[in-house]
Amino acid sequence: MKKLNQRAWLFVTPVLLLVAFNALIPMMTVVNYSVQETFGDNLFFWQGIDWFEQVLTSERFHKALGRQFLFTFLILIIEVPLGVAIALAMPRQGFWVPFCLVTMALPMLIPWNVVGAMWNIFTLPDIGLLGYFMNHTLGIPYDMTQNPFAAWVTIVIMDVWHWTSLVVLLAYAGLVSIPNAYYQAAEIDGASGWAVFRFIQLPKMKTVLTIAILLRFMDSFNIYTEPFVLTGGGPGNSTTLLSIDLVKIALGQFDLGPAAAMSLIYFAITLLVSWLFYTLMTMNDNKS
Amino acid sequence: MSLELKNVSKRVAGITHVKETSLTLETGHFNVLLGETGSGKTSLIKLMAGLDSLASGQIILNGRDVSGLSAQKRNISLVHQFFVNYPHMSVFDNIASPLKVAGVARSEIEGRVDEAAGILKLKPFLNRKPHELSGGQQQRTALARAIVKESDAVFLDEPLANLDYKLREELRDQLPELFAGRGAVVVYATSEPEEALLLGGQTALMTDGKVVQFGPTADIYRKPRDLDAAKVFSNPPINVAGVTKQGERVILNETTSWTLPGAAATLADGPYTLAIRPHHVLPVETPAHSVRLSGRVLVTELSGSESSAHFEMSGQPWVSLSAGVHPYQVGEVHTFHLDPNHCFFFTPDGTLAA
């Protein structure tokens, strides 16, 4: 019998080590915390699934989760159609193409905490450009540090400003890859502009749009920096999204057990929704 | 029915894509546009289809001036080199798409799609999506879309170029009967001279954005008007060499000259350009192939039933194409035999002299 060559293990070891240190070990530490009560001096007491029960039944978690879904839903419903519309309006060739592409990419190049700080200053009622204009020129009361609705409008618009470009660039990449022959065929058939969009552009953009929506879902569902810098979760708890709440529990209250349980639940929800979405979007393709 | 072009031209950003062209294309046979890539075939088709606007001239379809009309209002069909179908519609819906836009009744659509699918052997695939079909089936779907519409003119822009050899032959055999009796003016663009000979009732030879010759395919094959036309209508490329006529003889170089047969003998003395198709230069002597050429063999190619040899003679490249397999030795001097009855002679300005 031929002797098995075990040398392959040697070659995968570096990758295994890397994955272990940057994913598996931190993740298992979280699992470790989530089933124990932790005191100082590394004292641990077994708690079983108590923390999970506590998180899943807590009203605070339900509310944060609800806000999180609302936020993600709002930005997706705005950014995806808006991004596609902008991509459709962009020129396909000529002098303005690089100009449009660079302009579009700019918001994405700004560090996230800078985005938060920028919008914070922008909306200040006394000195901010937008805040002053709304309050003093138009006379519309607008203060996101006082009014939950104003805070929501601001974080949603901030995210739309920051991330619509991603959808635009991906949709644009899909659009420019459509050969001219398709448009000519549609022209000869006498198809309307809507029909061209519905039957040529949208189907041809489907793959990149699936990726765009998936990326935007995951990113917005895990969003932390920008709303933290902008509103700090307030006023009250009105813009406390899941990750902000998580950090409050873990670092503010130092409740490591519940925070670890919440992280795992959070992770599971993100994974589940992403999987559901991807499966639904690609179901038709795999039927054949 | 006919499609008439009157002094049609096309310029984009100062560059002329189609030079002034006048053609009358008729129904009942294939009208082939033959030319190399970049010769303006597709540009001309886009003008005729109404996908591009004219810089000058008029286009008359069945007596109606359609110059200013959009593609949609001209009642035409176009089949591309690429397989263009609506990606997420079934084959049935794809074939039905022009009828649906035109507002044809559902019951009639079903009948007409069924007929077109039957002719093109697509009936088993009507419920499939284009990406679930082979290249040949995808192109047949596009062809079915073109015939179901009952257009006044059908443009086929190198429709077989992206198909493999066997499918290409099969579809090419079907094409003439597909459009026979439909009354549409059929325009077929190709870069392959053999396709023009197989399909073409009439052929228009194109180079450099202009039609250099138009007429019954066999006629222009036998009598190219000028050197450009002769070059377009030959594959492998036609052999071209400068010669001098003196009395009854034509002199190719110091060692090669021969007595001119037929009409060429009456030409005035002086310099001419000789052109002869590769299959009239053979590696063996026959009674007809009586003129000997000595050349050093550079490259040989074997394509099953034919052998071709590229050879060099007094600094000029030549090609010989012959039936069967010939054992050439690359780098060695070989004697080839030219048929003096199939030589074209062009005057220095390029027009056919004999």
B276 and B334: one domain?
yes
- CA proximity to A229, closest of A251, A246, A248, A244: A244
- Asked whether B119 and B169 are in contact (CB, 8 A), the reply is no
For testing contact with chain B, the best of A189, A197, A282 (most B CBs within 10 A): A189
Interchain contact, B129 vs A191, CB within 8 Å:
no
Share of chain B above pLDDT 90, in %: 14
Instruction: Quote the CA–CA distance of A255 and B58 in Å, as a whole number.
Output: 83
Q: Distance between CA B98 and CA B202 in Å, rounded? A: 29
Last residue of a domain, one of B191, B224, B257: B224
Residue B351 lies in a domain: no
Q: What confidence tens digit (pLDDT) does each residue in B236-283 have?
A: 889 998 888 888 888 888 888 888 887 778 888 889 999 999 999 998
Per-residue pLDDT, averaged over B107-111, amounts to: 89
CATH label of the domain that carries residue B303: 2.40.50.140
Q: What is the pLDDT of residue B183?
A: 84
- What Å distances lie between residue B90 and B86, B93, B126, CA to CA? 8, 5, 7
Tell me if the pTM is above 0.80. no
Q: At what angle do helices B91-102 and B135-148 cross, to 10 degrees?
A: 20
Q: Do B268 and B146 sit in the same domain of this protein? A: no
Q: What is the pLDDT of residue A284?
A: 65
Cα Rg of chain B, angstroms: 24
Looking at the structure, do residues B251 and B323 belong to the same domain, yes or no? yes
Q: What distance in Å separates residue B319's CA from the closest CA in chain A?
A: 38
The Cα of B239 is separated from the nearest Cα of chain A by a number of Å equal to: 37
Instruction: Choose, out of A188, A207, A285, A286, the residue to mutate when testing the contact with B (most B CBs < 10 Å).
Output: A188
For residue B220, give the CATH number of its domain. 3.40.50.300
Q: Does B142 fall in a domain?
A: yes
Cα A247 versus chain centre, distance:
17
State whether B147 and B118 are in the same domain: yes
Mutate to test the interface with A, among B48, B51, B150 (most CBs of A within 10 A): B51
Residues of A with CB under 8 A from a CB of B: 179, 181-182, 184-185, 187-191, 195, 199-200, 203-204, 288
Q: How many CB atoms lie within 10 A of CB A164?
A: 23
Across the interface, of A188, A200, A288, the residue whose CB is closest to B86 is: A200
Give the number of other Cβ atoms within 10 Å of residue B119's Cβ.
17
Q: For chain A, say whether B72 makes contact (Cβ under 8 Å).
A: yes
Q: Phi and psi dihedrals of A131, rounded to 5? A: -60, -45
Q: How many helices (H) and strands (E) does chain A have?
A: 14, 2
Q: Between chains, do B51 and A200 touch, taking CB under 8 Å as contact?
A: no
pLDDT at A160: 94
* Intervals of chain A under pLDDT 50: 288
Domain-ending residue, one of B201, B224, B247: B224
**Are residue B125 and residue B273 in the same domain, yes or no?**
no
Q: Which residues of B touch A189 (CB under 8 A)?
A: 72, 97-98, 101
CA distance B90 to chain A (A): 12
| Domain ranges, residue B328 | 239-346
Quote the pLDDT of residue A286: 54
Domain count, chain B: 2
One domain, residues B45 and B155: yes
Q: How far apart are alpha carbons B233 and B222 in whole angstroms?
A: 10
CB contact under 8 Å between B80 and A204, yes or no, is no
Residue linked to tokens 């409740």: A255
State the pLDDT at residue A213.
Answer: 92
Can you list the domains of chain A with their CATH numbers?
Answer: 59-286 (1.10.3720.10)
Best CA proximity match to A166, nearest among A111, A219, A122, A245: A219
* Residues B23 and B142 placed together within one structural domain of the fold: yes
| B42–chain A Cβ distance below 8 A for any pair | no
In a domain, B322, yes or no: yes
Q: Supply the DSSP string of A198-239, one letter for each residue.
A: IIIIHHHHHHHHHHHHHHHHHHHHT--HHHHHHTTT-STTTT
- The answer on B243 and B212 residing in a single domain is no
Question: Model ipTM?
Answer: 0.71
Instruction: Say if B211 falls within a structural domain.
Output: yes
- Is residue B230 assigned to a domain? no
